[in-house]
Amino acid sequence: MKQDKSIALMKRSKEMIPAGVNSPVRAYLSVGGNPPFISKAKGASITDVDGNTYIDYVASWGPMILGHAHPKVVEAVCAAAKNGTSYGAPTPLEVEMAEEIISNVPSMDWVRMVSSGTEATMSALRLARGHTARSKIIKFEGCYHGHVDSLLVKAGSGGMTFGTPDSAGVPEGLARETLIATYNDLASVAALFETYPNQIAAVIVEPIAGNMGMIPPVEGFLEGLRTLTKKGGALLIFDEVITGFRVGLSGAQGLYGIDPDLTCLGKIIGGGLPVGAFGGKKEIMESIAPLGPVYQAGTLSGNPLAVTAGLTTLRLLREEGVYDALEEKGAYLAGGIREAFSAAGISVQSHRVGSMACNFFTDQPVVDYKSAKTCDTELFSRYFTGLLENGVYIAPSQFETGFVSVAHTREDLDKTIERVAKVARKLR
Ligand code: HOZ
């Protein structure tokens, strides 16, 4: 694989940008090698500056559910840009976006747009604390909710990949307010409610964990969280930044039939532009400024370009059969990959919900952080490098999720399965 231009760019970049990248996992430190610098993407393919083209399952870490540069999204964004790119004032587009979100996600009576998933979780936490007048929160080991101080405790994603789940720079006093429970283990949550009565403002959870690899909730886990939070007077916050509009129009909460108090969204609702949103029950959202005492604001919130890309995406997702097709493609690919691993005699735990999937290189069932950590990350690195060299682009970490898009064709999926089989045979 030719990489001269990417290597030269990395060299230049490292002179100015920490590790040459603007987000840690992109540096490829855990898998080795030089990250390809991307110059363009179209449909299910992504192309680097050296002219290598890959079948893409990163999908910009989730947003590109329609594939890259969808003609209708591109056209809408170009048209919107001609009317100006930011006003810092209300726009009709934001009203349409709020209607679109609320009509699809029944637990959200009200919503506010922000500019990233991190901003959404940060604001939802502050709101939960302000609304309940309590300061402690419960999060799950290995869940990642953006790089919010209170949430960078036992965090997944880059924290897990690089062995730094507790970030330096988070004041001890703040970290103490973050209580850690075990994903898929209700007893660990119940114990915290017992130890800290009337002190817990909220439980925040990825209803399908997507940042310690992809781990679905076990039966009864989310229902149990709903019961425990109600009983403990705490809010239940669903971080659906990854799962929102990914596993269905009403996200994981629709899939599993749960009614959280607050929901955080991002990724897909921005159609590939920077966006986030948080929302939920009206009586809680009324605490937000200027109606209530919880302050939250943003110069680029509701940005017309981002909202246009998001709205166009959401409307296309509403078309008949989109999620059935995603389910079908996800199942076909996961089935083919499972067979390829089995034929090669490699033990993996294959997880999939709709178009989200992950293969853990371990023979143990993976249900939480501890079991995810049993993976052979060295083997994953060899797998990753093999796929990259064979034109398949997956996330450069065992602890991330892969995404299939509307744009992946049967031919793309077959090619992928073939290449996985080839790489898997060499892993033994
Ligand atoms: N935290 C993101 C994955 N869960 C990575 C984002 C990026 O590097 O673009």
What single-letter amino acid sits at 170? V
Give the Å distance between the CA of 155 and the centre of ligand 1: 13
Q: Please give the number of the atom of ligand 1 that sits closest to the Cα of 401.
A: 4
Give the Å distance between the CA of 396 and the centre of ligand 1: 10
Dihedral sign (CA 381, 383, 389, 395):
negative
- Which residue has the least CA distance to atom 1 on ligand 1? 157
Q: Please give the number of the atom of ligand 1 that sits closest to the Cα of 24.
A: 8
- Using an 8 Å Cβ cutoff, are 293 and 287 in contact? yes
One-letter-per-residue 3-state SS of the chain:
CCCHHHHHHHHHHHCCCHHHCCCHHHHCCCCCCCCCCEEEEEECEEEECCCCEEEECCHHHCCCCCCECCHHHHHHHHHHHCCCCCCCCCCHHHHHHHHHHHHHCCCCCEEEEECCHHHHHHHHHHHHHHHHCCCEEEEECCCCCCCCHHHCCCCCCHHHHCCCCCCCCCCHHHHHCEEEECCCCHHHHHHHHHHCCCCEEEEEECCCECCCCCECCCCCHHHHHHHHHHHHCCEEEEECCCCCCCCCCCHHHHHHCCCCCEEEEEHHHHCCCCCEEEEECHHHHCCECCCCCECCCCCCCCCHHHHHHHHHHHHHHCCCCHHHHHHHHHHHHHHHHHHHHHHHCCCCEEEEECCEEEEECCCCCCCCHHHHCCCCHHHHHHHHHHHHHCCEECCCCCCCCEECCCCCCHHHHHHHHHHHHHHHHHHC
Q: Please give the number of the atom of ligand 1 that sits closest to the Cα of 210.
A: 4
Q: Please give the number of the atom of ligand 1 that sits closest to the Cα of 60.
A: 9
Tell me the pLDDT tens digit for each residue of 88-129. 999 999 999 999 999 999 999 999 999 999 999 999 999 999
Residue ranges, comma separated, of all CATH 3.90.1150.10 domains in the chain are 4-69+320-427
Q: Which protein residues touch ligand 1 with a CB less than 6 Å away?
A: 23, 25-26, 61, 144, 157-158, 211, 400
Q: Cβ contacts of residue 283 below 8 Å, gap of 6+? A: none
One-letter-per-residue 3-state SS of 213-247:
CCECCCCCHHHHHHHHHHHHCCEEEEECCCCCCCC
What pLDDT is attached to residue 428? 85
The residue whose CB lies within 8 Å of the most ligand 1 atoms, and thus the one to mutate among 145, 147, 157, is 157
The residue whose CB lies within 8 Å of the most ligand 1 atoms, and thus the one to mutate among 17, 21, 22, 25, is 25
The residue whose CB lies within 8 Å of the most ligand 1 atoms, and thus the one to mutate among 61, 116, 164, is 61
What pLDDT is attached to residue 163? 84
What pLDDT is attached to residue 224? 98
* 3-class secondary-structure state, position 393: strand
User: 248: which 2 tokens?
Assistant: 């269905």
Residue ranges, comma separated, of all CATH 3.40.640.10 domains in the chain are 71-317
Q: Determine how many CB atoms are found less than 10 A away from the CB of residue 409.
A: 13
- Which residue has the least CA distance to atom 9 on ligand 1? 23
- Nearest to 50, CA basis, from 109, 2, 110, 108: 2
Q: Which fold has domain 4-69+320-427?
A: Aspartate Aminotransferase, domain 1 (3.90.1150)
What pLDDT is attached to residue 165? 86
Q: How far apart are CA 62 and CA 49, in angstroms?
A: 22
Q: How far apart are CA 202 and CA 125, in angstroms?
A: 8
Active site residues: 144, 239, 267
* 3-class secondary-structure state, position 139: strand
What pLDDT is attached to residue 164? 84
Give the Å distance between the CA of 149 and the centre of ligand 1: 17
Predicted TM-score (pTM) of the model is 0.97
- Which residue has the least CA distance to atom 7 on ligand 1? 23
Give the Å distance between the CA of 165 and the centre of ligand 1: 15
Tell me the pLDDT tens digit for each residue of 163-192. 888 899 999 999 999 999 999 999 999 999
**Right CATH number for 71-317 from 3.40.50.2000, 3.40.190.10, 3.40.640.10, 3.40.50.1980?**
3.40.640.10
Give the Å distance between the CA of 395 and the centre of ligand 1: 9
Q: Tell me the longest C-alpha to C-alpha distance in the chain.
A: 61
What pLDDT is attached to residue 372? 98
Low-confidence residues of the chain, pLDDT below 50? Answer: none
